[in-house]
Chain A
Amino acid sequence: MWIVWFLAAGACLGSGIAVVSMTNPFYSALALIGNLASLAVLYLLLAAEFLAAAQVLVYAGAVMVMFVFVIAYLGGRADAPWAGGSPVMQTAAVVAAVALLVEVVVVLGLAWGDELKDPAQVSDSFGSPAAIGELFLTDHLLAFEITSIVLLVAAIGGVVLGTTHEKGRP
């Protein structure tokens, strides 16, 4: 378990740094696919089987294909050299990111001692598609329906944004 965790967490953080630091967005997108896949391994270790499958299918599959298509469509225009803002802004960004990280770690460290010690005992069906589906269609039905509306609105929005208006026509 530790070995799997170590490999997955290392791949996760390494590919995350690669996504942020690459100049070619195509490589960034590929690194993000690796990041999502190694996250799916971590989800499996946390007994979230359905979410691991959804992560690979929806995220690493569908969403990233969309990304790669757009990057291919843009071609050379998509290149992203490291031209940042002024040095002051760059320093401020790094300070803000480190401050965020320190805040999270401090909060976790405070809770680490007693509350994070013993994880709950869970049955084999914890995180299975059946358990998730049952919860979604009973306790969280409203969230389920709202999610479908959000996706519909996003799909329509994507079509509207992608439509070209020829000159002289509405």
Chain B
Amino acid sequence: MSGPGVGWYLIVAAALFGIGSLGVMLRRSPLIVLLSLEIMLNGANLALIAFARQVGDLDGQIFALAVMAVAAAEVAIGLGLIVAMARRDMALDVDQASALRG
């Protein structure tokens, strides 16, 4: 394969995962936390696809596709929770939602 080797892609994947985890841990807005979670999932996806290319096996790409579907499901539920929080006039702050009572 001409161009950068698989290791370079893995470095990008690791950096994306780090950036995403920083966002999940530092930010307080559930919206930003969800967006950062997407970055983490995409970092993992990039690593899966890079390894699939390395070993020449499509199973890694299938796994990445499954991760994409799970991410879509997670966004649907997460956004539903955020809208429900807003309807109940809660502040959009993950610290306020520490007790999951109705």
Interface residues, chain A, CB within 8 Å of chain B? Answer: 1-2, 4-5, 9, 12-13, 16-17, 19-20, 22, 25, 28-29, 32, 35-36, 39, 42-43, 45-48, 50-51, 54-55, 58-59, 62-63, 66-67, 70-71, 73-74, 77-80, 82-85, 90, 93-94, 96-98, 100-101, 104-105, 108, 112, 116-117, 119-122, 126-127, 131-132, 135-136, 139-140, 143, 147, 150-151, 153-155, 157-158, 160-162, 164
Contacts and interface: CB of A to CB of B under 8 A. Distances in A.
| Interface secondary structure of B, over-half rule | helix
Interface residues of B, number: 72
Contacts of A17: 19
A147 B76 contact: no
Contacts of B38: 32, 36, 59, 63
B79 A132 contact: no
Contacts, number: 239
B55 to A, nearest CB: 6
Interface in B30-74: 31-32, 34-36, 38-39, 42, 45-46, 49-50, 52-59, 61-62, 64-66, 68-74
Contact of A74 (B11, B20, B52, B92): B92
Contact of B72 (A4, A20, A58): A58
